[in-house]
Amino acid sequence: MLRTLVVLLAALGLPQALVAAEAGFKAELAGGTPGEFPTKGSVRLDLSDTQMLLLRAGKTELRVSYQKVNTLEYGQTVSRRYAAAVLISPVLLLSKARKHFVTLGFLDVEGKQQALVLRVDKGDIRSVLAGLEARTGRRVEFLDDEARKAGKG
Q: Which amino acid is at 78?
A: V
Q: Which tops the pLDDT comparison, 102 or 37?
A: 102
SS3 151: helix
Q: Mind listing the pLDDT tens digit for each residue in 83-127? A: 555 556 666 556 666 789 999 999 988 899 999 999 999 889 999
H or E segment and range at residue 43: strand 41-46
So where are the chain's domains? 22-152
Per the CB < 8 A criterion, the answer to whether 53 and 128 are in contact is no
Of 142, 147, 143, 137, nearest to 69 (Cα)? 137
Q: Which amino acid is at 100?
A: H
Calpha distance 78→68 (Å, rounded): 31
CA 7 to the chain's CA centroid: 36
Mean pLDDT score, 40-59:
90
Query: For domain 22-152, which architecture applies?
Result: Roll (2.30)
| Measured distance between the N- and C-terminal CA atoms of the chain, rounded to whole angstroms | 54
Strand partners, 79: 97
Q: What is the pLDDT of residue 16?
A: 46
Q: Mind listing the pLDDT tens digit for each residue in 4-15? A: 544 544 555 545
Q: What is the pLDDT of residue 34?
A: 77
Calpha distance 39→97 (Å, rounded): 24
